[in-house]
């Protein structure tokens, strides 16, 4: 073990920026988990696309932080992942800005059920919107990435799901179903891309302390979630980003078609 640790340490010193020169698109990266991921990939040397749909100021602030201090660099692109033309724009903008094919896609963009309704009570409109962004968006991003990512090694597709897929909690039916679709696409696409050198994996966070988690939740609800977690706390975005970062590097080449739950043992 000591020898292995020493080897890993030496490797890190020789390659402090393992994503140097690689281009990464991170959807939904102006805030929350996506923001932590895009900052982490840039710290590993990646040239990144910060994607947003509504708040340009937040996205610009993330890009400015990267361009002022990280070894990587950033551009900002507005795009709705549920629209095919917008997804194509993301890839075209990345290739044009960095004069390189895209190496890494991280699809973090998602929305929650605005009412946390049970399946008998959720409106058709809310159901369709959840699936449009979470499932259709993942499909469109996967399809574009499968056709555009660099072949021959180093290509990475990393999708974000949710540990709710394993928990099967009431009132989360539509959201959970949309994320279950993401996990199934992950497993199947990994097989369909055999021979390309592109890996496809999924990271499924548990309860993470973000605006999306706290929206509409009572203090009592949050306390109950914390009490139920073996770690005794909510997850942080910094718990998720390094896992995604590892999956984006060459060190993860043997991991493919997997769903990795980052939840502190919550479910």
pLDDT tens column, 35-89: 999 999 999 999 999 999 999 999 999 999 999 987 989 999 999 999 999 999 9
Q: What is the mean pLDDT of residues 207-226?
A: 89
Residues spanned by the domain of 108: 18-262
Burial (Cβ within 10 Å: 0-12, 13-18, ≥19) of residue 7:
exposed
Catalytic residue, candidates 116, 172, 175, 221: 175
> Does residue 215 lie in a domain region?
yes
The dihedral sign for the CA sequence 204, 210, 216, 218? positive
Q: Does residue 16 surpass a pLDDT of 90?
A: no
What confidence score (pLDDT) does residue 85 get?
Answer: 98
- 37 Cβ contact list (under 8 Å, min separation 6): 26, 29, 106, 108, 237, 240, 241, 244, 245
> Does residue 5 lie in a domain region?
no
CATH number of 34's domain? 3.40.50.720
- Among 2-16, 189-203, 208-222, 232-246, the range scoring the smallest mean pLDDT is 2-16
Rounded to 5°, the CA angle 106-147-50 comes to 30
Number of domains in the chain: 1
Banded pLDDT at 157 (limits 50, 70, 90): very high
What confidence score (pLDDT) does residue 14 get?
Answer: 56
pTM score? 0.92
Q: What is the mean pLDDT of residues 232-253?
A: 97
> Does residue 23 lie in a domain region?
yes
Q: What is the mean pLDDT of residues 121-134?
A: 97
How far is residue 87's CA from residue 222's CA, in Å, rounded to a whole number?
35
> Does residue 169 lie in a domain region?
yes
> Does residue 267 lie in a domain region?
no
CB 98, CB 47: distance < 8 Å = yes
What confidence score (pLDDT) does residue 114 get?
Answer: 87
What confidence score (pLDDT) does residue 205 get?
Answer: 97
Q: Does residue 150 surpass a pLDDT of 80?
A: yes
Banded pLDDT at 3 (limits 50, 70, 90): low
Q: How far is CA 84 from each of CA 89, 104, 136, 182, 248, rounded to the nearest angstrom?
A: 9, 18, 9, 17, 24
What confidence score (pLDDT) does residue 235 get?
Answer: 93
Distance between alpha carbon 247 and the CA centroid of its chain, in Å?
Answer: 11
Q: Does residue 148 surpass a pLDDT of 70?
A: yes
* Structure-token pair, residue 3: 């020898």
How far is residue 160's CA from residue 183's CA, in Å, rounded to a whole number?
9
Strand, helix or coil for residue 255: coil
Q: Does residue 1 surpass a pLDDT of 50?
A: no
Nearest to 78 by CA among 99, 49, 107: 49
What confidence score (pLDDT) does residue 70 get?
Answer: 76
113: DSSP letter:
-
Sheet of strand 198-205, all strands in order from the earlier edge strand to the far edge: 73-78, 47-52, 23-27, 104-107, 155-160, 198-205, 259-262
Task: Please indicate whether residue 116 is annotated as part of the active site.
Answer: no
> Does residue 2 lie in a domain region?
no
- Residues of the chain above pLDDT 70, percent: 94
Which residue has 């974000």 as its token pair? Answer: 160
> Does residue 183 lie in a domain region?
yes
């Amino acid at each position: 073990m000591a020898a292995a640790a020493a080897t890993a340490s030496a490797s890190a010193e020789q390659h402090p920026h393992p994503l140097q020169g690689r281009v990464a698109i991170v959807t939904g990266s102006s805030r929350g988990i996506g923001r932590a991921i895009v900052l982490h990939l840039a710290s590993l040397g990646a040239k990144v696309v910060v994607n947003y749909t509504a708040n340009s100021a937040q996205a610009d602030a993330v890009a400015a932080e990267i361009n002022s201090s990280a070894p990587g660099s950033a551009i900002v692109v507005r795009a709705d992942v549920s629209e095919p033309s917008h997804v194509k724009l993301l890839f075209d903008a990345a290739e044009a800005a960095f004069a390189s094919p895209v190496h890494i896609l991280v699809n973090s963009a998602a929305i929650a059920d605005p009412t946390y309704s049970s399946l008998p009570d959720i409106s058709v409109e809310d159901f369709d919107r959840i699936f449009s962004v979470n499932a259709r968006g993942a499909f469109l991003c996967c399809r574009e990435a499968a056709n555009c990512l660099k072949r021959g090694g180093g290509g990475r597709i990393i999708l974000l799901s949710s540990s709710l897929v394993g928990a099967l909690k009431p009132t989360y039916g539509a959201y959970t179903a949309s994320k279950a679709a993401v996990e199934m696409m992950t497993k199947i696409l990994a097989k369909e891309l055999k021979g390309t050198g592109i890996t496809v994996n999924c990271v499924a966070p548990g309860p993470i302390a973000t605006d999306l988690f706290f929206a509409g939740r009572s203090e009592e609800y949050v306390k109950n979630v914390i009490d139920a977690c073996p770690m005794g706390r909510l997850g942080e975005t910094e718990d998720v980003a390094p896992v995604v970062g590892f999956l984006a590097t060459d060190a993860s080449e043997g991991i493919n078609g997997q769903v990795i739950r980052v939840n502190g043992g919550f479910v």
